Amino acid sequence: MKNEDLIAKLKTIVQPYVQDEDAFKNLSEETTFVGDLKINSANLVDIILDVEDEFDIRIENEEMEQMLSVKAAMAIVNSKITS
């Protein structure tokens, strides 16, 4: 999958939980979910489940630990859908 397509899908997934709209508008690979988008940590699991469903993958708890930025989420999704 192209990076732009992947980012677009991630944007759709995180949007319902975003609390900083400016950071969302300027979303890049470096954007962090909690620090930048001000997503409540209670919703991180919802995002991870939505990512699992969207890409039909399963993310282990050890992998979830690092899934705190757009870049990290992209790396995990890419490793799962190409393998």
Partner 1 sequence: MIGNDIVDIELAKRNSRWQEQRYLDKLFTTEEQEFIRSGDQQFQNIWRLWTMKESVYKITSRAEGTIRFNPTNFKCTVLDATQGKIIYKNQSIATSTIINQNFVQTTASSNPQWVSKIFQFSSLDYPTQHSESVQQAIKAYAAYKKVVDTSVAVIKNRTGIPQFYIYGQLQTEQLSLTHHGLYGAFAISVIES
Asked if 83 is part of the footprint of partner 1 (rule: CB under 8 A), the reply reads no
- Can residue 38 be called a binding residue for partner 1 (CB under 8 A)? yes
- Report which residue type is found at 12: T
**CA 17, CA 82: separation in Å to the nearest integer?**
28
Could you give the residue ranges of the DSSP H alpha helices within 1-83? 3-14, 21-25, 44-55, 61-64, 70-81
Binding of residue 57 to partner 1 (CB under 8 A): no
Q: Does 64 bind partner 1 (CB under 8 A)?
A: yes
User: Which residues bind to partner 1, rule: CB under 8 A?
Assistant: 16-17, 19-20, 34-35, 38, 40-46, 48-49, 52, 61, 64-68
